[in-house]
Amino acid sequence: MSDLRESLNQTREEFEKKIKEIQNLADIEKIRVEYFGKKGKLTGVLRGMGNLTPEERPEAGKMVNEVRAKMEEVFAQSQAKMKALESSYKLKKEVIDVTLPTHYEGCGARHPLNNAINEICDIFLGLGYSIGEGPEVEYDKYNFELLRIPKGHPARDTQDTFYVSDNILLRTQTSGMQIRIMEELTKNGGKPPIKVVCPGKVYRQDTLDATHSPVFHQIEGLVVDKGVTMGDLVGSLRLFAKKLFGENTEVRLRPHHFPFTEPSVEVDLTCWKCGGKGCNVCKGEGWIEVLGAGMVHPEVLENCGIDSSVYSGFAFGIGVERTTMGRYGIDDIRLLYENDVRFLKQFK
């Protein structure tokens, strides 16, 4: 019994001495394991009770419980004190003095694609156009059928469409927005004039390379009114080209075919790199194709509830990526989507 009492007192004194020397929570954990763990010193002393007689055990148990309770109380107090100290130290270390001078990293900037979209839209806003929007997940009838591209039409094959279901798809062109805008106007009893540009993403199953992407941007333009002619279209596009690329930029029209316009044209601009002399960008031609355009087909007007014998109109679709690449001298479309900070910093 006396040996047990002596071992307990010795263990407690040693414990109290060590607990005063702790520096951090790691020291606290070491003491916990050393004295209260399965192989700890206090646990080892308690095992000595097995050598006591039945008469001695009640008194020994009371003594052991008192010593253990006192040690656990001291341990808990020390642990709480150390946690508070470490928390206070951490808070002081993380304090930020907002009055101190700091290095200014600079603000961000708009992406070159957004810059180009804004510049193009600003040009047409100055001509009296408004900005329209439409869904990227579109119905087949708006993307194809009401634009005179019925099921089985060969034009559908060239679009390489992402279908969500038989009747729903990711739009392959922004031309569907002109249908929605005209339809919405006539449904509410309205009549032209209409002057609107609609920027947005379009999707096609293209393989990503230096000049192609499965996701890209277009800006659709639509004008419908009495007496609108091809001359109005040419004049608008010429003004757009000169505003965006400079006064020396010219426009060239080539006959083409789009189901929803008649007549239809591909529109080329003077090469922005060589000024029309011929270079690697324009492949020696001096011209770069930028958009498709034409007079809105009478049947498309009628599909939207507009009398084609009274009204006429023109539409155009501008490829934003190609325009952006020309505007900023970018030679690889992938640079626009890789989010390389070194590339994007150039546009601040």
The per-residue pLDDT for range 235-286, each reduced to its tens digit, is: 999 999 999 888 989 999 999 999 999 999 999 999 888 888 888 777 888 8
The pLDDT of residue 272 is 80
pLDDT score of 39 more than 80: no
Average pLDDT over residues 137-148: 94
The pLDDT of residue 223 is 97
Closest CA to 142 of 169, 112, 102: 169
Q: Report yes or no: 45 and 60 within 8 Å, Cβ to Cβ.
A: no
The pLDDT of residue 51 is 65
pLDDT score of 61 more than 80: no
The pLDDT of residue 15 is 79
pLDDT score of 103 more than 90: no
Q: How far apart are the C-alpha atoms of 140 and 237, rounded to whole Å?
A: 29
What proportion of the chain, given as a percentage, has pLDDT over 70? 94
pLDDT score of 47 more than 70: no
Q: How far apart are the C-alpha atoms of 149 and 173, rounded to whole Å?
A: 12
pLDDT score of 3 more than 70: no
Output 322 or 210, whichever has higher pLDDT: 322
Q: Tens digits of per-residue pLDDT, 300-328?
A: 999 999 999 999 999 999 999 988 988 88
Tell me the β-bridge partners of 269: 251, 288
Six-digit token pair at 171?
Answer: 């739009």
Closest CA to 49 of 41, 59, 40: 59
Q: How far apart are the C-alpha atoms of 348 and 340, rounded to whole Å?
A: 14
Instruction: Indicate the helix (H) or strand (E) that contains 224.
Output: strand 215-225
User: Domains in the chain and their CATH numbers?
Assistant: 2-94 (no CATH), 112-347 (3.30.930.10)
Mean pLDDT of the chain: 86
Average pLDDT over residues 61-69: 77
Phi, psi (deg, nearest 5) at residue 252: -125, 130
The pLDDT of residue 311 is 97
pLDDT score of 199 more than 70: yes
The pLDDT of residue 49 is 65
The pLDDT of residue 137 is 95
Average pLDDT over residues 173-188: 93
Least confident window among 3-12, 82-91, 120-129, 214-223: 3-12
The pLDDT of residue 48 is 63
pLDDT score of 50 more than 70: no
Average pLDDT over residues 331-342: 87
Q: Is 78 left (phi over 0), alpha (psi -120 to 50) or beta?
A: alpha
pTM exceeds 0.75, yes or no: no
Closest CA to 15 of 69, 96, 57: 69
Q: Is 70 left (phi over 0), alpha (psi -120 to 50) or beta?
A: alpha
The pLDDT of residue 108 is 74
Q: How far apart are the C-alpha atoms of 329 and 211, rounded to whole Å?
A: 13
Strands 137-139 and 130-131: unpaired
The pLDDT of residue 74 is 84
pLDDT score of 218 more than 90: yes
Output 108 or 316, whichever has higher pLDDT: 316
Q: Report yes or no: 132 and 177 within 8 Å, Cβ to Cβ.
A: yes
**CA 218, 167, 316: angle at the middle one, nearest 5?**
25
Instruction: Indicate the helix (H) or strand (E) that contains 223.
Output: strand 215-225
Tell me the β-bridge partners of 137: 170
Six-digit token pair at 244?
Answer: 């965006």
Tokens 């000595």 belong to 48
The pLDDT of residue 264 is 96
Q: What is the DSSP secondary-structure string of 20-78?
A: TT--SHHHHHHHHHHHHSTT-HHHHHHHGGGGS-TTTHHHHHHHHHHHHHHHHHHHHHH
Residue type, 101: P
Closest CA to 45 of 33, 56, 55, 36: 36
Q: Is 134 helix (H, G, I), strand (E, B) or coil?
A: coil
Residue type, 261: T
Residue type, 40: G
Closest CA to 204 of 269, 147, 143: 143
Six-digit token pair at 16?
Answer: 């109290």
